[in-house]
Structure 1
Amino acid sequence: MITLYDLPSKVADSPGTTTTWRARYCLNIKNLPYQTVYVEIPDVEAFAKEIGAAPTGMWPDRSPKYTLHGRPAYLDKTYPSCGPVLIPPGTMVLQLAFADTVKEALEHLRLPLFYSYFVTKLNNRSAAPLRKKFGAKLEAPEGEEREKMWTMTRDNLGKMNEWFEGSEGDFVLGDEPCFADTVISAIFRLIRSTVGKESEEWKDIATWHDGRWGKHLERFKQYEIVV
């Protein structure tokens, strides 16, 4: 059975990071059986080495970096008859470029707002190293700085909204979800659970651009199952 290694959270049914939410969405879209094993941040490197997982990158000091990572192309290749194809032939480069562009469009949210809420949802064992690493950068901005940040967010999402105008179907490639859709959903799913569904921040995002982002996440509700 497939095992999804995820980051635990204090919030019910809202564990993880954007990376692990993408993986969860991919597994649920393909209707694959899997189990979830939760790993706190300080334990990720040792745990990855224990199970023989290769580093997912390098830190600035060139030491190996271990993260909780998912591979949609592997799922398509290994389970070709299960569910929709996440990365149809000929779309790999475009989907990866799309994913990078989406992440860059919302990158400015991570430390100034998103992480300030995010760490409060983590267990103390995982929150402590993040607080130590980022320190004062985790303080949420206020006043004019906060307004400027949200204006930038709305403008960036407005550019993304233009990509979808005139497109056919509810998803990036049409009528069925693909990997690129999980990138959008993972970011918004984690933002919603972090700032709160009833928060002004989420209500703003969910209603911008004729409610596109709230509707997109609602379409993914069936794939949010946490096992």
Structure 2
Amino acid sequence: MAANITFYDISSAPPLRTFAPNPWKTRFALNFKGVPYRTEWVDMPDITSLRERLGVPANRTLPDGTPYHTLPVIQDAKTGALLGDSFEIALYLDRNHPDGPKLFRPLTTGLTAAFNAQVDSIFTKHAALCSNMPFDPQSEEKIHDIFAKRAGVKSWNDLQMSDEQRDGLMVSFEADLGELSKAYRHTGGTTDH
């Protein structure tokens, strides 16, 4: 079956591989549902121009209120749909590809949206942990500027920390994820559909 969906993912340092959490969610959803797609790799500094060219508005804002353009984006040649948020993409896939497994249990979309917002908040709070991500060296300086803006600091250097500070931030990250995990388990968090 030909791939009607173009999936835009963030390119990494060589060797090219997927690494960013939000595009991973969409890649997992596409694979789980068995939907054919082709990947277009986008260098992080080019994300804004890609979204603007495609007419996909920013789905996040920086601490100063300016638009923040992220990936994933999918473009469905069959329906003309252009979506730029992993949660909205998952909803679209369930609606437009009803065969196969469902990504959402019935009547859980609102809870899942709240859970997703909390995950995003936790990852933003701990953005400094991204300093070891496999950024493409050719655009690393621009990427550092993007992450500094997202974290609400003046420069990438403001995100650098000692091993002890990093360990402390990891403890905070794990604690926040632990609380999120409790909420998930409380809702009967299971993959049974």
CA drift of 1:57 comes to 4.6
Counterpart selection for 1:49 from 52, 55, 66: 52
Counterpart selection for 1:127 from 140, 146, 152: 140
Structure with higher strand content = 2
Question: Could you tell me which residue of structure 2 aligns to residue 154 of structure 1?
Answer: 174
Q: Does 1:75 align with 2:93?
A: yes
CA drift of 1:117 comes to 0.6
Question: Could you tell me which residue of structure 2 aligns to residue 224 of structure 1?
Answer: none
Question: Could you tell me which residue of structure 2 aligns to residue 100 of structure 1?
Answer: 117
Question: Could you tell me which residue of structure 1 aligns to residue 38 of structure 2?
Answer: 35
Secondary structure of the 1:49 match is helix
Q: Does 1:142 align with 2:142?
A: no
CA offsets per residue over residues 90-110 of structure 1, 9 Å max, x none?
111101111222333444332
Amino acid at match of 2:141: A
5 Å-filtered alignment, 1:1-227, equals: 1-10=4-13, 12=15, 14-57=17-60, 64-68=67-71, 69=84, 70=86, 71-81=89-99, 83-111=100-128, 114-118=129-133, 121-133=134-146, 134=148, 135-143=156-164, 145-163=165-183, 172-175=189-192
Tell me: CA distance 1:54–1:159, structure 2 relative to 1, closer, same or farther (3 Å). Answer: closer
CA offsets per residue over residues 132-191 of structure 1, 9 Å max, x none?
352213313332x334323323333332343465886xxx34425xxxxxxxxxxxxxxx
Q: What is the number of residues matched between the two proteins?
A: 167
Instruction: Provide the rounded CA distance (Å) in 2 between the counterparts of 1:27 and 1:137.
Output: 37
Identify which range, 89-98 or 155-164, moves more after superposition: 155-164
CA drift of 1:115 comes to 1.8
Instruction: Provide the rounded CA distance (Å) in 1 between the counterparts of 2:18 and 2:70.
Output: 15
RMSD: 2.8
In structure 1, list runs of 5 or more residues that go unmatched: 177-227
TM-score computed with the length of structure 2 as normaliser = 0.71
Tell me: CA distance 1:127–1:35, structure 2 relative to 1, closer, same or farther (3 Å). Answer: same
CA drift of 1:76 comes to 0.8
Report sequence identity in percent: 25
CA drift of 1:84 comes to 1.5
Higher relative contact order (CA 8 A, sep 6+): 1
Amino acid at match of 2:24: W
Tell me: CA distance 1:53–1:87, structure 2 relative to 1, closer, same or farther (3 Å). Answer: same
CA drift of 1:2 comes to 0.5
In structure 2, list runs of 5 or more residues that go unmatched: 72-83, 149-155
Instruction: Provide the rounded CA distance (Å) in 1 between the counterparts of 2:186 and 2:44.
Output: 42
Amino acid at match of 1:132: D
Instruction: Provide the rounded CA distance (Å) in 2 between the counterparts of 1:88 and 1:164.
Output: 13
TM-score computed with the length of structure 1 as normaliser = 0.61
CA drift of 1:86 comes to 1.3
CA offsets per residue over residues 13-36 of structure 1, 9 Å max, x none?
632421111110110110110000
Structure with higher helix content = 1
Instruction: Provide the rounded CA distance (Å) in 1 between the counterparts of 2:51 and 2:190.
Output: 34
